[in-house]
Every structure is written in C-alpha cells, then in structure tokens.
Amino acid sequence: MRKKSQAALEFLTTYGWAFLVILIMISALAYFGILNPSKILPDRCNFGAEFECRDFQISGTSDSIKIRLKNNAGGAITITSMTVSTESAIALGCGDPDISGVWANGVVKDFTFSACNSEEVSFIPGEKSKVLIKIGYYAVRSGEGYGHDVNGEIFATVI
C-alpha cells in the first residue's frame, strides 16, 4: 500500500512541476508583450456604408487626428457635427475640423482634429490606440429635419 501511494505522489508532483514551469513561461511571454494581441492586429478604420475611409492617422507628436473620407451617402450631404472620443476615463479634447459647405456624392474630403490632449489620453508613439468618431449629417434633398448619425472608429498605431 505504501509503494502505491508513493508512486501516486511522485506522479502528481511531476505534473505539478511541469504545470508550474508552463505558468512561468506564459507569465514571462505576457510580461514582455509577446502575447499582446493589439500588436498583432492591423490598423483599421471602420464607418457605416455612408462613408468610405480612405486614409487615417493618429499623431501623438503633433496632437492631431486626420481622416480622409469619401461620401457614399447616395447624394449631396451637409455635415452638422463631428466629434471624437476614446474609451479611456479621460475625455479626448480636440479642435473641430472644417465641416462647412455641401459635400457632393463621391467626393473625398480630409478632416483634421487638431490641438488634441494626446498626452492626457495616453497616445504613445508606436503603440496602438482607438479613436471613436461620430458624424452628424443630413441629405441636402431632405433638409435639416431629417438628420442622421454615423459612428466610426480608427484603430491605428500612433505616430
């Protein structure tokens, strides 16, 4: 009886050590950032079908967010508002881009949010960050009474 219990204890101890080594290896990989999935994910820009994202940039050095959009709304529109935010506890504050005028269907426009508080919301150059953008607009043919909102996001490496 004693030899059987000793064999069982040695068996469990061997597996316990192996499990401990595996935990230490996974902890080391996580500590050095190898298991960080955001480093593996590609940069992306997603909006509704109304706007096609052509190009984007999050800059921590010049405190700006730039985006190039194409109007796919099916007609001329007028933008009433553009706001940016992040998922962090500190609010992202940026200057408003130029949204004046009518935006014809199929036309590409550049928008720049300048004077952002990049340091406060932790836009660290070389790291990935997510910015949420909300665009309010109305179709010129429908008028101001029929407004729409589109939510989009930019997930990119900060430069």
Q: How far apart are CA 99 and CA 114, in angstroms?
A: 14
Please check whether residue 129 is in contact with residue 112, taking contact to mean a CB–CB distance below 8 angstroms.
no
Residue 78 pLDDT grade (very low, low, confident, very high; cuts 50, 70, 90): very high
DSSP state of 97: P
Q: Percent of the chain at pLDDT above 90?
A: 71
Structure confidence at residue 72 (pLDDT): 95
Looking at the predicted structure, is the pLDDT value of residue 1 above 70? no
Considering the domain 42-157 in this protein, what is its CATH number? Answer: 2.60.40
- Sign of the alpha-carbon torsion through 21, 26, 29, 30: negative
Dist. CA 108–CA 110, nearest whole Å: 7
What does pTM read for this prediction? 0.78
Indicate if the pLDDT at residue 54 is higher than 90: yes
Tokens of 69: 């959009």
Tell me the longest C-alpha to C-alpha distance in the chain: 90
pLDDT, position 55: 96
Contacts of 84 (CB under 8 A, 6+ apart): 65, 92, 94, 113, 116, 131, 132, 133, 134
pLDDT at 103: 96
Question: What SS3 state is found at 134?
Answer: strand
Task: Say how many CA atoms lie within 13 Å of 97 toward its Cβ.
Answer: 22
